[in-house]
Structure 1
């Protein structure tokens, strides 16, 4: 192969190696985001709960509750940086009687999962500004305290890291947040309901909750959720007089499996961008780089120092010129004549 081919392979290899480095550092963060078209339904159940029957104004004990929460992404309202969720929660008893209904609309940053002020956000139809995390944790969740928004209290509270556990075959981080009793509304009720002699009184409705969340850290998916929720009516002295709801709601086993699968799928996509693709690009790039260098070096070694000499270009040695034959003179004898002089007597 020509040296030019080697140079092309070296350039291609270097390009792929740069891509291997850039993919986890630049490409992955740009692509790993909360989806715009989020669509999920989670189901929680509570056994032996207590609820207030507003038709009879009496407490019902030993009630089984089921809470359905549907999360739908508003694709048209989202963009590259934010996603918008419309959320509905409906709690019913085992007779399919509706206990509570709530709605929520929130916009969140697609990278940090933090709520952002945008897009007609509201709680139960009333405009309200969300703060902190809401329905998911960030990618790469850390062992630290996060602010997590509570729709009922309409305020964010610290969700503190507690421990690392195994759940549904995954390593998860356990977070816990405590909401001390807070007044969320006032309602008019018969006086006797809160120990008053007045026919009708305005009683404060108080809410408290201990929320525990088990989060898969790579994806930020909440695999399991639990709420120990208490709502009461208080008299004018601040004492609890009657329970509106007292229940511990926990994700069902099927919901936990569903959430675990979502976490595993997200982890696979993240690993593809942060590990698999960079390794493949790096190995292929290195192979091309080495092959290109080999071709260039081999071509350089095979190149002669000078051009080969042809048969017609052989140098001719200088030969002595032939001389013509010349007569050889016989030597003469000094004193004249060819023979020795004769002496006379």
Structure 2
């Protein structure tokens, strides 16, 4: 059954029919139901349920797209990634067309540079199916190849219509959630914070929940420093957020998160709340489900970080074999990324 946490109005995907991912084959049949259905089943003593399903079991192929600079130190790789896929419900223009597009533009603009450190761009496949693409990639590397990656930058949802400027909390200064990132993550956070401070823009700390493609990189045994940007998904914008960023309190940062209305066209015709989007358009420039200011600002921040580390990673401390920053990629939240 779906997990049913959060407000059903602002996080309906936590209550809807569960389209789960098992990850690997299991020995018993498994189906998903909505939170309400599961709750009703659990509250009925002695209940016997008969299910009829039509299923397809097949092997599907997906791809990661990886490109790297021709020049630069191969033993000191700066890596940046964004996932290409969306959930089956819709186009995913914010999740994650925004991150993928911003990263692609940075790569195109850097095409003629000759960085000191090799720069590797990745667009991940099957993130929404439990980080399949990035996990496969990291697990396919030898320990030596993993050690050559100096840091990883992740950009998943950087243009949420009711945005925040979220910077991954490398040093766990917010003391919330999963704890700090591996050694060096605090320095990545500081670089992003300096970028926003220089523009007089506030930020929020974003927790390393493991719900995006940085997860395999910061997992125990790998310990690659990571950082990145996140404008918010199903989390609810607070009054304090509104004081910082504007927008509408009491609703999600992305009201179309994992829904058909996460599109570039006809957002309200595809299920978006017309009154809410009219309110947001009164404050922001939106193109479909994309906040133009958030996308433009974050694209500049992405470019700043990538080009900075392309030429100088001296701020990132060296990793040691004794470093431990235990992390787990999602276990109980496999469908909601």
TM-score (structure 1 length as normaliser): 0.25
Which structure has the highest strand share of the two? 1
Select the structure with the greater relative contact order (CA < 8 A; seq sep ≥ 6): 2
